Structure 1
Amino acid sequence: MYHSVGDCSDDPYRVTVTPARLERQLRWLRGRGLRGVSVGELLAARARGAGRGLVGLTFDDGYADFVTDAVALLARWECTATLFVLPGRLGGENTWDPLGPRKPLLTADSVREAHRAGVEIGSHGLTHVDLTDADDAVLHAEVSDSRALLTELTGAPVQGFCYPYGTVDRRVTEAVREAGYDYACAIDPGELSGPHALPRVHVGQNDNALRLFLKYRLHRLRRRPVAGL
């Protein structure tokens, strides 16, 4: 689970890695015989029994620096990823982070550019709200309307959803399932399991080779296999 790729000198939420750090992390993956792919590709490969050696890479929030600083690095290391976008905030900023710093978000054109580069586009909702606190009307708009907008924007079906803030409960997972998503990513979904409650490991600027190895091993130990995959 990544977010922004750029200057991390002011990063109170630890959502940024520098391009140099991202490249070292991708090099570490490839050096271990692993390849980063989109979550959609990973799940399809696992369904065929061919998921060995693949690692799902995700980038949340749809920061503009994904196109300027991450796409070329992913291509250099023969990796792909899933980019979770907020179609209700295209061209805006991350105003949901009260401590800042303000970061520009992707425009409609840059989302299309990422899609043309082979990046899977998924939904992060419309505006980045905690869906567990949303009423039914807001939940439906955030989940269903965002999918429709991104499908229209890219001309491709949107398979994946990502829960803002990682917060999720059974009501929200059911809304995502009913909206037609094939899978959804959380952070630590607790007792929830299955393709609409996928756990992820946060990757940050301080994650060198040793920390990545430990996170990889500890994640496998503490998370039971996801039912249905």
Structure 2
Amino acid sequence: MYHSVSDGLHDPYRIAVSPDRLRRQLRWLRARGLRGVGVAELLRARAAGHGAGLVGLTFDDGYQDFLDEAVPLLLEHGCTATVFVLPGLLGGSNTWDPLGPRRPLLTEPAIRAAAGAGMEIGSHGLLHRDLTGADDDVLREETARSRALLTAVTGGPVAGFCYPYGTVDARAVRAVRDAGYAYACAIDPGPLTGPHALPRAHVGERDTGWRLTLKRRLHPLRRRAGTARAAADPVRGGAGAGR
């Protein structure tokens, strides 16, 4: 899970990774026989039984620096990724972060350029609102409406959703599933873990090789723990997994 690819900016939320660090991280992946791909491609490969060696790469918020900085580096290393964008804020900035700094968001032409470069476009909601406890109207806007708007922008299907702030509850999962998304990404959804609440590992500027090694080893344990908790709690787990 990445966000912004930039350096030289105040970064109070630790959402940025410098281009040089991203280059080193992608080089680390490739040196170990791993290749970064978008989440939809990863899930299709795993379903077909040949997902070994693939790692899902995601970039939240849809910053302009994804196209300017991340895409060239991804292509240089033979990788792709999923970028989760906000169709209600295209060409705007990250106004939901009170401490800043302001970072420009992708425009419609930039989204199409990213898709043309082989990147997967997913929804991060409409306006980057926390969906936990949201009323029905907000849930529909953030899930179904954002998907419809992105479909119009890209001219193709939008398979993935990413929960703003990584927070999720059972109602949000149901809304995402009912909106027609094939999958959704969270951070650490616990008993809600499933195809519509996939856990991810944050990657930042401090993640050198040894930290990436540790995260790679721990991530499957986190997912198995969430799946086990879901099985032990069939009411919450069943709702969260979208079954």
TM-score tier by shorter-chain length is over 0.9
The corresponding residue for 1:33 is 33
- Give the drift of 1:193: 1.9
Whether 1:43 and 2:15 are equivalent positions in the alignment is: no
Deviation sequence 1:61-104 (CA, Å, 0-9, x none): 00000011010100000000000000000000000001100100
C-alpha distance in 1 between matches for 2:202 and 2:72: 21
The corresponding residue for 1:19 is 19
C-alpha distance in 2 between matches for 1:8 and 1:47: 41
- With normalisation by structure 1, the TM-score equals 0.97
C-alpha distance in 1 between matches for 2:138 and 2:101: 27
C-alpha distance in 2 between matches for 1:8 and 1:221: 35
More helix per residue? 2
Deviation sequence 1:18-39 (CA, Å, 0-9, x none): 1000000000000010000000
| Aligned residues of 1:8 and 1:16 also touching (Cα < 8 A) | no
- Give the drift of 1:225: 7.5
C-alpha distance in 1 between matches for 2:73 and 2:137: 40
Deviation sequence 1:127-165 (CA, Å, 0-9, x none): 000011321101101100000000010011000000000
Q: Which runs of 5+ in 1 are unaligned?
A: none
C-alpha distance in 1 between matches for 2:139 and 2:168: 12
The corresponding residue for 1:7 is 7
- Give the drift of 1:196: 0.2
- With normalisation by structure 2, the TM-score equals 0.92
Matched-pair identity in %: 69
Q: What value does the CA root-mean-square deviation take over the aligned residues?
A: 1.2
Whether 1:59 and 2:94 are equivalent positions in the alignment is: no
Alignment-mate amino acid for residue 208 of structure 1: T
- Give the drift of 1:9: 3.8
| Aligned residues of 1:186 and 1:200 also touching (Cα < 8 A) | yes
- Give the drift of 1:7: 1.4
Say which SS state the counterpart of residue 88 (structure 2) adopts: helix
C-alpha distance in 2 between matches for 1:207 and 1:86: 27
| Aligned residues of 2:190 and 2:226 also touching (Cα < 8 A) | no
C-alpha distance in 1 between matches for 2:58 and 2:78: 15
Q: Which runs of 5+ in 2 are unaligned?
A: 228-240
Say which SS state the counterpart of residue 23 (structure 1) adopts: helix
The corresponding residue for 1:102 is 102
Say which SS state the counterpart of residue 36 (structure 1) adopts: strand
| Aligned residues of 1:195 and 1:226 also touching (Cα < 8 A) | no
Q: How many residues are aligned here? A: 228
